[in-house]
A = this chain, B = another copy of it.
Amino acid sequence: MTVEQKIRELHHFINGALVPGTSGRYSHVYNPCTGEVIARVPLATREEVRQAIESAKNAFPKWKSLSGGKRSEIVQRFRQLVKENQDELIEIICEESGKTRGDARGEIQRGLESVDLAINAPHMIKGEYSVNVGGEINMFSRKDPLGVVAAISPFNFPVMVPLAQTSMAVATGNAVILKPSEKVPISALYISKLWKEAGLPDGVWTVINGDKEAVDELLENEEVKAVHFVGSTRVAEYVYQTGTKFNKRVAALGGGKNFMIVMPDTDLDQAANAFIGAAYGAASQRCMALSGVIPVGKETGDKLVAILKDKIGKLKVGPYTDDETDFGPVISKESKEAILGYIERALDEGAKLVTDGRNPEIAKTSNGFYLGPTLLDEVKTDMEIFKEEVFGPVRIVVRADSLQEAIGIINSHELGNGVTIFTNNGAAARKFQDEIEVGMVGVNVPIPIPVGYHNFAGWKRSNFGTGVMFGPEQANFFTKRKTISEKWLAIGDETEAAFAFPSDGGSK
């Protein structure tokens, strides 16, 4: 397939064309299932980023001035092309990220939900209209696109997150620059091809590959009016503080430490199944993955851990090419090593090993970055393994004696992305919803990710600013409001100067 061949040496996508990098600096792209390098991606210089911004800036006025309907037509064609090329895109995702095909299919589907919402951008950016607010003045508002906007994406969803970040931005008339993770750039470039095929004018969609140097240019360049970031909390904070220092509009979504509370009235077998899928799926590399479980009561805890031990023991780690695989490798060698370090220190701090995934069978025959599923019991809130987001298949059990204590444990954490409770009791669910300091809350739903027409956003250090990863609120983030007060004077109307502050509609 031609795309594949072209991208062995990957490019940027600027002004409607693949453009080779000029910096001489590169980053390797691996197949995590084999450990092999499959491509190298150029890391842009500031100057290259500036050129990309310039081409986006030039494309903006014409794109903005198209009617919303014409822009939507292109978004619809893009949606159709993603669907038609889904199988090819799945292979690309799997190869560069190591996730299973089912998982890749799921992420495309969820990503398309953001495209679906963007189809109705013209409806969503309507302003408001009032007749005669006073003094015969009609007052109305409109929402205009910002200009050049940037999105910076993480490695864990090579397609879903970029679509979530950018679809509404494109549809509302902005020129978008995407800087994908340098670990998974191939999917982003493939999407670029589809946008072009859908008829998007050159320059409206840009992919610039790079590292901190590219990011800094995006954050500092005054032509970039908004920055939308999804990634780790550490970098999200940097992006928020730096972007706002340059007076930009910034959405910066960080990591999560997401817990499941299991109440004593729950069917533990069901709860265990829900936990395992949500905890270890995608090798736990999701910001909404369940990080741990908090059973309420000793009996509940003991039973649940026993069930989990049994079920986790049957999980199959392997490559996406094997249909039996439950989850694949982690993204890199460095990541694998870091995860092993977390496990060691947790054990040192007193955590108890329920299942040990440090040396999975497949690691003996493959150079892929594999880790099996590890579960640690008796984790306490002062341990590192509790405090840190761990992007790999080591999950924890924290014991609590009451719902109140369980809520307290979760609220003590600095992150607040996702959380869930398993119970059949309405009162417990209500109390939990009210008191939990977390942005996305599940009740008997293991991964409470909103659908595309609701808003995705965490609380506390999981989200800097007021932005969302996707959802209707994107239409506000990517537009600015203009409010117009309109009056028409008949020639000859008598007036005189009004010095007092106008208190009925902007005029006497």
Chain A residues packing against B (C-beta within 8 Å): 65, 67-70, 72, 76, 79-80, 100, 102-103, 105-107, 109-110, 113, 116-117, 119-120, 122-123, 125-135, 137-142, 144, 160, 237, 240-241, 244-245, 247, 249-250, 267, 270, 272-278, 280-282, 286, 311, 326-327, 422-427, 429-431, 433-434, 438-457, 459, 461, 464-466, 472-473, 476-477, 480-493, 495-508
A447 CB contact (under 8 Å) in B277, B426, B502, B504: B502
Knowing A273-B495, A453-B120 touch, does A129 contact B128 (C-beta < 8 A)? yes
Bound-complex Cα distance A134 to B144 (A): 15
Q: Closest CB-CB distance, A161 to chain B, in whole Å?
A: 12
Cβ–Cβ contact B425 & A425, under 8 A: yes
Q: Closest CB-CB distance, A2 to chain B, in whole Å?
A: 25
Q: Closest CB-CB distance, A155 to chain B, in whole Å?
A: 15
Cβ–Cβ contact B119 & A277, under 8 A: no
Collect the chain B residues with CB atoms within 8 Å of residue A249's CB. Answer: 465-466
Cβ–Cβ contact A129 & B142, under 8 A: yes
Collect the chain B residues with CB atoms within 8 Å of residue A117's CB. Answer: 120, 123
Bound-complex Cα distance A459 to B146 (A): 11
Q: Closest CB-CB distance, A105 to chain B, in whole Å?
A: 7
Cβ–Cβ contact A130 & B139, under 8 A: no
Cβ–Cβ contact A427 & B488, under 8 A: yes
Knowing A130-B122, A133-B67, A426-B429 touch, does A497 contact B466 (C-beta < 8 A)? no
Cβ–Cβ contact A495 & B274, under 8 A: yes
Cβ–Cβ contact A459 & B480, under 8 A: yes
What are 9 residue pairs bridging A and B, where the CB atoms are less than 8 Å apart in the complex? A67-B505, A68-B130, A119-B120, A128-B129, A240-B247, A273-B496, A281-B501, A438-B482, A444-B487
Bound-complex Cα distance A439 to B120 (A): 24
Q: Closest 7 A-B residue pairs measured CB to CB? A: A106-B501, A102-B500, A244-B244, A109-B503, A427-B488, A277-B497, A127-B129
Cβ–Cβ contact B132 & A506, under 8 A: no
Collect the chain B residues with CB atoms within 8 Å of residue A464's CB. Answer: 247
Collect the chain B residues with CB atoms within 8 Å of residue A272's CB. Answer: 497
Please classify the interface of chain A as helix (H, G, I), strand (E, B), loop, or mixed, using the class held by over half of its residues.
mixed
Knowing A129-B127, A451-B139, A501-B110 touch, does A441 contact B489 (C-beta < 8 A)? no
Cβ–Cβ contact A277 & B499, under 8 A: yes
Collect the chain B residues with CB atoms within 8 Å of residue A240's CB. Answer: 244, 247
Cβ–Cβ contact A489 & B123, under 8 A: no
Inter-chain pairs besides A100-B500, A130-B454, A274-B498, 7 sampled, C-beta below 8 Å: A128-B454, A131-B434, A273-B496, A326-B497, A425-B488, A442-B506, A448-B483
A457 CB contact (under 8 Å) in B459, B481, B490: B481
Collect the chain B residues with CB atoms within 8 Å of residue A241's CB. Answer: 244-245, 247
Knowing A102-B499, A425-B424, A505-B67 touch, does A122 contact B133 (C-beta < 8 A)? yes
Cβ–Cβ contact B142 & A488, under 8 A: no
Q: Closest CB-CB distance, A98 to chain B, in whole Å?
A: 13
Cβ–Cβ contact A455 & B443, under 8 A: no
Bound-complex Cα distance A502 to B107 (A): 8
Q: Closest CB-CB distance, A483 to chain B, in whole Å?
A: 5
A443 CB contact (under 8 Å) in B133, B423, B433, B484: B484
Knowing A126-B129, A424-B491, A485-B440 touch, does A449 contact B506 (C-beta < 8 A)? yes
Q: Closest CB-CB distance, A449 to chain B, in whole Å?
A: 5
A105 CB contact (under 8 Å) in B76, B270, B440, B500: B500
Collect the chain B residues with CB atoms within 8 Å of residue A501's CB. Answer: 102-103, 106-107, 110, 160, 281-282, 286
Collect the chain B residues with CB atoms within 8 Å of residue A443's CB. Answer: 426, 484-488
Q: Closest CB-CB distance, A137 to chain B, in whole Å?
A: 6
Bound-complex Cα distance A495 to B501 (A): 46
Of the listed residues A144, A277, A455, the one surrounded by the most CB atoms of chain B closer than 10 A to its CB is: A277
Cβ–Cβ contact B486 & A444, under 8 A: yes
Bound-complex Cα distance A501 to B503 (A): 40
Collect the chain B residues with CB atoms within 8 Å of residue A431's CB. Answer: 488
Question: Closest residue to A236 on the B side, CB-wise?
Answer: B247
Bound-complex Cα distance A120 to B455 (A): 15
Bound-complex Cα distance A433 to B249 (A): 23
Question: Closest residue to A272 on the B side, CB-wise?
Answer: B497
A116 CB contact (under 8 Å) in B76, B113, B486, B493: B76
Cβ–Cβ contact A68 & B132, under 8 A: yes
